[in-house]
């Protein structure tokens, strides 16, 4: 697992996952559109959740602020979180990056390793908390039955690191590779604004207290902040500005969101200070869903106008947001033909689509990522096809998508979006697909979760080219149904001729 030397790597982020719930092994490369298919109970949601948990752990403002607000280096434990061959390489890289960011040559030669080790320890704690919150159970419960540990190896553009979760609820983080072309912090959009804000903040404090900028203490403080910032940039697995997750159990959120306070759902499931004897009440994605439904922003996002035509065609109306007063909990209604209907009385399809469209209109932005479980749930095949075309449109709006699906209609429409990539505008017009709804084959990855005889799954990436997405999984089921139909028809014909 640990490489012998350092090389350059430009591939998208990859997750190699072993012994996670029902998953024996999964090898996932994140593309602009990643699709998980396969039978029930094969682990599609498990893999989606661990990707979301790690993306949230390293990309969250909570971790960033924890790192920055730790003023003095604390004692670290005895864990080895850096491969011994990387210690000097990492130290030199961090110091070089910090010098470039600060534009100040320190009057001393700081050793960044103490700050690096402290940062890794805090990051490990955050990962543990995110895993517990995301799965709503102690970390050890996600380890595949009969094995001792779950391993997730993450390859980013900058580094490779391994997350280990044991049955004893230990979560370990280890950096095992640093790529030679690991770029400076400015290339990570998630934290660039915060980094400059921190520098400006520290300088304002220095001016307020009459501290000269060239003092050793001030430069050391800035140095420590930048070390933590650069170290964190090495671990961010998803190069996106935001990360949202819509779980399969989202329909009920439209029925009960107003009766549950956002503060409760934000604080209970994944806080770092929760007592050990108080297990999470909801997983993170569900808790955040309720909180965000109850506290929708007062202004819509940049994708609202893109989404609304699809919303109109699939629901026959629009989900509207109102408030009795500014800052009050959101009130959601379905408006159709000039009439308003409470979401408690709408059809199951509208109830299911409401969170999806609200997320797209208020929270999802270009350069962000959305994970959606079964976007086709409760929908007529015609609407499943429209949702597939909307997903393709979102990819072309620079939204990164990861979806799970059991729908052959949705998968086949996505396949048509791929094959229409090479058609002329006139040819696409004849089949009703817009240029914005076509998909570059290189932007799509489909993973089939295959169950073994032992009832544990592995993933296989399907080959996608100009001919589209293979659908053998659904064809197999259709073939079985067809053979049953032929047998029944043959048997019935014997009775009819008696």
**pLDDT tens track for 153-167:** 999 988 999 999 999
Q: CA–CA separation, 496 vs 452, rounded Å?
A: 43
Q: Which of 265-274, 333-342, 417-426, 484-493 has the lowest mean pLDDT?
A: 265-274
Look at residue 193 in the predicted model and tell me its pLDDT. 45
Picking from 62, 37, 418, 31, the residue whose alpha carbon sits closest to that of residue 240 is 31
Q: Is the pLDDT of residue 185 over 70?
A: no
**88-92, 93-97, 331-335, 413-417 — which one is most confidently predicted on average?**
413-417
Q: Are 443 and 12 in contact (CB under 8 A)?
A: no
Mean pLDDT throughout 457-462?
96
Predicted pLDDT of residue 147: 96
**3-class DSSP assignment, residue 331:** strand
Check whether 349 has a pLDDT greater than 70.
Answer: yes
Query: Do residues 412 and 472 make contact, with C-beta atoms less than 8 angstroms apart?
Result: no
- Give the lowest-confidence range in 42-51, 236-245, 258-267, 403-412: 258-267
Write the burial class of residue 259 (CB in 10 Å: 0-12 exposed, 13-18 middle, 19+ buried): exposed
**Confidence at residue 24, expressed as pLDDT on a 0 to 100 scale:** 98
pLDDT of residue 52: 96
**Residue that has been written with the tokens 């990819």 in this structure:** 395
Tokens at 421, concatenated: 């990539």
Q: Decide if pLDDT at 268 tops 70.
A: no
Check pLDDT > 50 for residue 271: no
pLDDT of residue 83: 84
User: What DSSP designation does 80 have?
Assistant: -
Give the pLDDT score at 150.
Answer: 98
Residue range 173-196: mean pLDDT, rounded: 59
| Tokens describing residue 135 | 């799965």
**pLDDT tens-place string over residues 1-50:** 333 333 334 468 999 999 999 999 999 999 999 999 999 999 999 999 99
Q: Of all residues in the chain, what percent carry a pLDDT higher than 90? A: 45
Lowest mean pLDDT among 83-92, 108-117, 297-306, 345-354: 108-117
**Each residue of 105-152: pLDDT tens digit?**
555 555 677 888 888 898 999 999 999 999 999 999 999 999 999 999
Structure tokens at 197: 């804000």
Q: How confident is the model at residue 369 (pLDDT cuts 50, 70, 90)?
A: very high
Of 180 and 125, which is predicted with more confidence? 125
What is the per-residue pLDDT across 312-344, written as a single tens digit (0 to 9) for each? 999 999 998 887 655 566 788 899 888 888 777
Mean pLDDT value of segment 258-279: 49
Distance, in Å, from the CA atom of 366 to the CA atom of 252, rounded to the nearest integer, reads 28
- In this predicted structure, what is the pLDDT of residue 165? 98
What does the DSSP 8-state code read for residue 465? B
Q: Is the pLDDT of residue 494 over 80?
A: no
> Confidence class of residue 376 from pLDDT cuts 50, 70 and 90?
very high
In this prediction, residue 468 has a pLDDT band, given cuts at 50, 70 and 90, of: confident
Per the structure block, which two tokens stand in for 269? 């499931």
Question: Looking at 186-190, 273-277, 417-421, 459-463, which range is the least confident one?
Answer: 186-190
Q: How many helices (H) and strands (E) does the chain have?
A: 15, 14
Q: What is the mean pLDDT of residues 406-419?
A: 93
| pLDDT at res. 227 | 80
Q: Order across the sheet with 444-451: list the strands.
A: 171-178, 159-166, 149-155, 14-20, 23-29, 457-461, 444-451, 33-37, 400-404, 369-373, 243-246
């Amino acid at each position: 697992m640990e490489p012998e030397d350092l090389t350059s790597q430009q591939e998208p982020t990859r997750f190699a996952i072993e012994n996670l719930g029902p998953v024996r092994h999964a090898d996932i490369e994140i593309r602009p559109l990643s699709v998980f298919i396969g039978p029930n109970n094969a682990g599609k949601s498990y893999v989606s959740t661990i990707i979301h948990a790690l993306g949230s752990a390293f990309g969250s403002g909570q971790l960033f602020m924890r790192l920055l607000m730790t003023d003095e280096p604390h004692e670290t434990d005895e864990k080895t979180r850096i491969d011994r061959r990387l210690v000097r390489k990492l130290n030199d890289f961090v110091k070089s990056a910090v010098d470039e960011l600060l534009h100040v040559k320190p009057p001393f030669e700081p050793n960044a390793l103490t700050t690096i080790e402290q940062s890794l320890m805090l990051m490990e704690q955050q990962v543990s908390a995110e895993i517990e919150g995301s799965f709503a159970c102690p970390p050890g419960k996600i380890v595949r039955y009969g094995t001792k540990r779950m391993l997730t190896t993450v390859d980013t553009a900058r580094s490779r690191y391994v997350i280990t979760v044991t049955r004893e609820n230990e979560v370990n983080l280890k950096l095992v590779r640093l790529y030679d072309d690991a770029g400076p912090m400015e290339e990570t959009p998630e934290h660039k604004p915060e980094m400059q804000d921190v520098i400006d903040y520290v300088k304002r404090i220095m001016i307020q207290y009459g501290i000269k900028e060239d003092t050793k203490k001030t430069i050391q403080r800035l140095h420590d902040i930048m070390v933590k910032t650069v170290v964190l940039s090495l671990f961010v697995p998803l190069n996106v500005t935001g990360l949202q997750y819509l779980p399969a159990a989202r329909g009920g959120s439209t029925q009960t969101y107003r009766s549950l306070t956002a503060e409760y759902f934000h604080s209970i499931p994944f806080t770092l200070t929760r007592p050990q004897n108080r297990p999470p009440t909801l997983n993170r994605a569900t808790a955040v869903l309720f909180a965000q439904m109850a506290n929708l922003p007062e202004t819509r996002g940049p994708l609202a106008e893109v989404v609304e035509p699809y919303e109109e065609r699939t629901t026959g109306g629009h989900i509207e947001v109102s408030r009795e007063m500014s800052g009050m909990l959101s009130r959601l209604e379905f408006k159709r033909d000039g009439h308003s209907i409470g979401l408690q009385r709408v059809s199951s399809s509208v109830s299911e689509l409401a969170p999806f469209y609200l997320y797209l209109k208020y929270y999802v932005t270009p350069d962000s990522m959305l994970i959606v479980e079964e976007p086709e749930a409760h929908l007529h095949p015609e609407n499943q096809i429209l949702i597939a075309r909307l997903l393709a449109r979102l990819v072309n709006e620079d939204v990164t998508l990861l979806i799970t699906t059991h729908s052959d209609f949705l998968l086949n429409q996505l396949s048509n979006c791929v094959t229409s990539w090479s058609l002329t505008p006139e040819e696409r017009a004849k089949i009703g697909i817009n240029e914005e709804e076509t998909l570059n084959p290189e932007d799509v990855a489909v993973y089939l979760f295959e169950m073994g005889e032992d009832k544990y799954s592995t993933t296989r990436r399907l080959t996608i080219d100009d001919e589209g997405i293979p659908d053998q999984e659904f064809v197999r089921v259709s073939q079985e149904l067809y053979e049953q139909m032929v047998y029944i028809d043959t048997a019935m014909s014997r009775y009819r001729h008696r």
